[in-house]
Amino acid sequence: MTTAETRRNGEVATEESTVEDVFDETYREKEGPKPPRKIVWRNVILMSLLHAGAMYGLTLVSSASALTLMWGVTAGAHRLWSHRSYKAKLPLRIFLAFANSMAFQNDIYEWARDHRAHHKYSETDADPHNSGRGFFFAHIGWLLVRKHPDVIEKGSKLELTDLKADPVVMFQRKNYKMSVVLMCFVFPTVVPWYLWGESLWVGYFIPGILRYALVLNATWLVNSAAHLWGNRPYDVHISPRENRFVTFSAIGEGFHNYHHTFPYDYATSEFGCKLNLTTCFIDFMCFVGLATDCKKVPKELVMARAQRTGDGSHRSRHPLSETATGFPHRLLGYSLFRMFLHLDLYYYMFILMAHMKTCCSWSVNNFLMTGPKAYLIYSSSVAAGAQSGIEECKYQFAWDRWNCPERALQLSTHSGLRSANRETAFVHAISSAGVMYTLTRNCSLGDFDNCGCDDTRNGQLGGQGWLWGGCSDNVGFGEAISKQFVDALETGQDARAAMNLHNNEAGRKAVKGTMKRTCKCHGVSGSCTTQTCWLQLPEFREVGNYLKEKYHKGLKVDLLKGAGNSAASRGAIAETFSSISKKELVHLEDSPDYCLENRTLGLPGTEGRECLRKGKGLSKWEKRSCKRLCGQCGLAVEEREAETVSSCNCKFHWCCAVRCEQCRKTVTKYFCVKRERRGRNESAGRRKGARPGKKH
């Protein structure tokens, strides 16, 4: 299994395998003669007709319009459903299910099952497309013959409860044939005919047949060429390779040695969004709140693995080689060409986003239409930083009456629907801080070519007995880019815009104010005659704690919400805010009563909320949460017994997996309930066979 970090709260968390996609060292192929190959003639005929139709489609290219040539789509069940490398909310899962039907590469359930078997039993008889049986078999032959008995046996024993529990997956599986006919053939054919007058004949053979054949072969190259030819910079003991041609054709999926070494990494490579449009898509979904918990392998672990088991071709050993410089830029350019081949996937994405309410704290349309266009290279870090800020907000207010609910984080463009209270102030500050923090951290990690250490003060006397030196984290870079992205969203000149800009700046000041000085001693035999010191980012949790204190001390500014309609009022607003320290959070309105539900403001109230009373490591604030959420809101506290499942008795197996048992434990939880409904709740509990909870 692989250790990975999850982009939450700026922390590193150990991830255990949630799916069976780690190579099984214990599997042994059966001795004796191999079973005979049984040809599936139906598939042979269909594949022959498909490729014949694609060849005919090539003859129609000259007569097709440019729009028709760009019309095509593909999407799979790879990173989400096969590897669970990130989490997706319902609208995104539905969209990906439609895209999977367009790709017509088996339904999600079967695709993910076979792919997990491919990873677990790679290059063995239990691998559905075993490259050990030759290029043709790994590319297309495995679809033309019956599966090897070991593929069927081992595939049936895989743990697939997560797929069965997903209603989107099972609905698509049940209706797969009809969805494929509509999405893969009818829809790509009819749209060019309806929208720009293309003939149905050309529409069927180019966006339908030719597009489908090209996408299939590009995908199959990952199974064949990427397992036979290329470098193995991360693990020389496995067959998958880093294949440039496959990376070109499959939009970044050719980093296959990395992917099989670290299957849980949502980016499937070290290059991130720069070289992988699928990673860009996931990052964008994270930014708008439709995807969360993207798992990323720490760079330190990648480097250690490459040095220990790689073939010596890793870019760290050839820093000026084409692998480290020229290749990524050419790959990016080719990926843009591939983007046009899959244009409708991105078209659907933006159509989807235009017709739904997102849960992110800023308007996505505003973000795309302002200054940050010039800084697309930083978009992945900005999205991750904004997500980190929101997750930190949820952590800081987990046991408060206002618990940073997602709907309340949406800042509508209609001023009448936007709050200007102290909670809004915190959201702006922590989001701005998250963006600046992530940009600074990624700069220090070497993600950006135009950014490095902050050594402007090196050699200067910092204090008694120490000098500035070393490699300080470049907060100036993070601050500058953060302003370009975040502050550009505020186009108004009224009091509310001034408040938001002030709190954005307070968030950035919080990052700078929590920087830590780290020193190294110099002198004979470690005598520490002098020290050189540099500044490092703290844990993001410290930034959150700092801003939570500022939240409690927030200042209310007495200005009319609509002020700003004249030059005089704008001058008064500017003068008022200039007199307030940039480190303080400010707000214009009092907060509502968070005890009660308010659907207009998107506030759920505290009824049904869980609270804490006792437990190891709880703070006084957490221990008093039941009183704060329930008692002071006129609610009763109900005890409920719940069963939790966690990993235990973990053991390391050579090499390289950690296997754990699943242990069950009964715990007591506390919830806020209405006092007048206690009798009804107890009766309902007994009717369902549940143990009635105790009320206090």
| 3-state SS, one letter per residue, for 184-253 | HHHHHHHHHHHHHCCCHHHHHHHHHHHHHHHHHHHHHHHHCHHHHCCECCCCCCCCCCECHHHHHHCCCC
Among 610, 611, 605, residue whose Cα is nearest residue 593: 605
The answer on 373 and 297 residing in a single domain is: no
Confidence at residue 274, expressed as pLDDT on a 0 to 100 scale: 62
Q: What is the mean pLDDT of residues 156-173?
A: 89
Residue 21 is predicted with a pLDDT of 61
Q: Which of 251-255, 295-299, 302-306, 506-510 has the highest mean pLDDT?
A: 506-510
pLDDT range class, residue 293, cuts 50, 70, 90: confident
**Which pLDDT score is estimated for 4?**
45
List, in order, residues 6 or more apart from 251 with CB less than 8 Å away. 276, 277, 278, 335, 338, 339, 342
pLDDT value of residue 176: 87
* Cβ(379)–Cβ(273) below 8 Å: yes
If asked whether residues 557 and 640 sit together in one domain, one would say: no
Question: In this structure, are 488 and 633 located in the same domain?
Answer: no
Spatial contact of 369 and 489, defined as CB atoms under 8 Å apart: no
pLDDT for 42: 86
Say how far apart CA 47 and CA 209 lie, in whole Å: 11
Q: Tell me which residue of 486, 458, 474 sits closest to 511, measured CA to CA.
A: 474
Q: Do residue 630 and residue 571 come from a single domain?
A: no
Is residue 393 included in any domain, yes or no?
yes
The overall average pLDDT reported for the chain is 77
Residues 624 and 572 in one domain: no
pLDDT-above-90 percentage for the chain: 17
Alpha carbons 693 and 696: distance in angstroms, whole number = 10
Task: Tell whether the model's pLDDT for residue 73 goes beyond 50.
Answer: no
Q: Is the pLDDT of residue 582 over 80?
A: yes
Angle at 280 between CA 277 and CA 282, to 5 degrees: 115
Is pLDDT of 512 > 70?
yes
Average pLDDT over every residue of 8-34: 56
In a domain, 603, yes or no: no
Residues 169 and 98 in one domain: yes
Contact 94, 168 (CB under 8 A): yes
Please report, rounded to a whole number, the percentage of residues in the chain having pLDDT higher than 70: 75
Residue 660 scores a pLDDT above 70: yes
- How far does CA 88 lie from the centroid of its chain? 8
Structure tokens at 664: 């069950």
Domain annotation covers residue 598 = no
**Do 246 and 381 belong to one domain?**
no
More confident residue, 309 or 71: 309
User: Sign of the C-alpha dihedral, residues 571, 576, 580, 585?
Assistant: negative
Q: Looking at this protein, which amino acid is placed at residue 262? A: F
Closest CA to 685 of 644, 645, 640: 640
Mean pLDDT across the stretch 587-614?
A: 87
- Identify whether residues 579 and 647 lie together within a single domain: no
What would the two tokens of residue 485 be? 């992205």
Give tens-digit pLDDT for 109-119. 888 888 888 88
How far, in Å, CA of 196 to CA of 198, rounded?
Answer: 6
DSSP 266-326: TTSSSSGGGG-HHHHHHHHHHHTTSEE--EE--HHHHHHHHHHHS-S-SGGG-TTSTTTTH
What six digits make up the tokens of 556? 């209310």
Residue 381 lies in a domain: yes
527, two tokens:
């005598």
Decide if 130 contacts 59 (C-beta within 8 A): no
Read off the tokens for 413: 């463009």
Structural domain ending residue among the three candidates 320, 348, 376:
348
Q: Domain end: 313, 348, 383, which one?
A: 348
Q: What per-residue confidence (pLDDT) applies to 610?
A: 92
Highest mean pLDDT among 304-313, 426-435, 614-623: 426-435
Question: Token pair for residue 665?
Answer: 């434990």
The pLDDT score that the predictor gives to residue 20 is 57
Decide if pLDDT at 320 tops 70. Answer: no
* pTM score of the predicted model: 0.49
Statement: residue 677 has pLDDT above 70: no
pLDDT of residue 352: 36
Same domain, 529 and 663: no
Q: How many domains does the chain have?
A: 3
Tokens 């929101």 belong to which residue? Answer: 390
* Domain contains 180: yes
Residue 647's CATH number: 3.30.2460.20
pLDDT attached to residue 601: 74
Is the distance from CB of 190 to CB of 203 less than 8 angstroms? Answer: yes
- 418 with 535, same domain: the answer is yes
Domain of 680 in residue numbering reads as 610-687
Instruction: Tell me: do 442 and 546 sit in the same domain.
Output: yes
Domain final residue pick, 530, 553, 587: 587
User: What 8-state DSSP symbol labels residue 632?
Assistant: G
Could you tell me the pLDDT band of residue 695, with boundaries at 50, 70 and 90? low
In a domain, 353, yes or no: no
Digit-coded pLDDT (tens) for 234-269: 988 888 998 888 877 776 678 888 988 888 888 888
pLDDT tens, residue by residue, 362-385: 333 333 334 444 456 787 888 888
Beta-carbon neighbour count of residue 239 at 10 Å?
A: 18
Query: Is 682 contained in some domain?
Result: yes
339 and 374 share one domain:
no
Mean pLDDT for the stretch of residues 410-420? 50
Cβ atoms of 363 and 411 closer than 8 Å: yes
On the question of pLDDT at 104 being above 50, the answer is: yes
**Beta pairing, strands 555-556 & 530-536:** unpaired
pLDDT value of residue 65? 60
Residue 29 lies in a domain: no
